[in-house]
Amino acid sequence: MRAREAGGAGGTRRYLLGAALIAGPLLLALFGPLLAGEAGPRAVSFTPGGGHWLGTDFTGRDVWRQILLGGRPVVLVAVAATALGYAVALPLALAAALTGRAWLEEVLLRPVDVLIAVPTLLLVLLAATALSPGPVGLAVLVAVAAVPDIARVVHAAAVEAAARPVVEALRLHGESWSRIAFGQVARSIRRTLAADAGTRLVGALHLVATAAFLGLGVQPDAADWAVMVDRNRPGLLLQPWAVVVPALLIAGLATGTNLLLDAALHGGGRKGTRR
């Protein structure tokens, strides 16, 4: 006879691994700029060592200092873009799912469907070339690119949740729209939302990194992990750290986020679903 425990040993391991992967990049991104200190004198480009812990980059700056400074733009823009995308898409999709009127559902979701047809990177590239945005503009662009996908997923999950008797009961008891939408429908699909938010964040991270890699929204010599990967490529064989370390940090952040969400979903996945 087996007694079921929520989570279990596998879940804990997954939590720890995810947390370990995410901790380094996240701490660097958040607190790195505080520790960076003053810029030292420039040295020769692409020297390994020579008083520089991780060597120097293509302009002879200290790589460690660049890493300390370069996380914040990537991570902040990605997180802000995901949050903004959800802030727009979630109410839109819930409104479409909860309205009983087919025409209103169409009006709310059709424009979004048009956007979905445009490749995300193309959209960001075009807009970035035309508008040359800063970090805030980039976050908005990435968010706009994510809204259609988020709205689609949330709507699909919410339609089913909105048809349950509990929603009818809440309507019958005069509950407000926001309580029904956020307190009941969004809450009952929170696992789907969490899974989607995880992939969305990683997607935004990649998009921001790609944009930076292509030189959009950032200066060509900015302290930015993605820019570092791009600019230091020529010296890869002379001084690998300037490319490898920021690349690993971005990869660790993406993998760790997914592992953590995965563990959270598994841990709570079976709770309260049985009747």
Specify the stretch interacting with another protein by CB under 8 A; choose among 41-49, 88-96, 168-176, 212-220. Answer: 168-176
Specify the stretch interacting with another protein by CB under 8 A; choose among 89-97, 184-192, 217-225, 232-240. Answer: 184-192
Tell which one of 168, 178, 234, 238 touches another protein (CB under 8 A).
Answer: 168
Report, in Å, the least distance between residue 261 CB and another protein.
20
Type of residue found at 268: G
Specify the stretch interacting with another protein by CB under 8 A; choose among 119-127, 151-159, 169-177, 206-214. Answer: 169-177
Distance of CA 67 to the CA centre of its chain: 20
- Does 110 bind another protein (CB under 8 A)? Our answer is no
- Does 184 bind another protein (CB under 8 A)? Our answer is yes
Report, in Å, the least distance between residue 9 CB and another protein.
16
Residue (41 or 174) nearer to another protein, CB: 174
- Does 166 bind another protein (CB under 8 A)? Our answer is yes
Specify the stretch interacting with another protein by CB under 8 A; choose among 84-92, 123-131, 176-184, 204-212. Answer: 176-184
How far apart, in Å, are the Cα atoms of 161 and each of 154, 181, 186?
10, 10, 8
**C-alpha closest to that of 143 among 195, 189, 211, 58:** 211
- Does 45 bind another protein (CB under 8 A)? Our answer is no
CB 119 within 8 A of CB 208: no
CA-to-CA distance for 163 and 97, rounded, in angstroms?
9
The site string for another protein over 1-20 (x = CB under 8 A, - otherwise) reads: xxxxxx--------------
Q: Would you say the C-alpha torsion 184, 189, 193, 194 has a positive or negative sign? A: positive
Q: How far apart are the first and last CA of the chain?
A: 21
- Does 50 bind another protein (CB under 8 A)? Our answer is no
Report, in Å, the least distance between residue 17 CB and another protein.
24
Report, in Å, the least distance between residue 190 CB and another protein.
11
- Does 270 bind another protein (CB under 8 A)? Our answer is yes
Residue (97 or 127) nearer to another protein, CB: 97
- Does 103 bind another protein (CB under 8 A)? Our answer is no
Report, in Å, the least distance between residue 103 CB and another protein.
15
Residue (129 or 176) nearer to another protein, CB: 176
Interface contacts to another protein, rule CB under 8 A: 1-6, 100, 164-166, 168-176, 183-184, 187-188, 270-272, 274-275
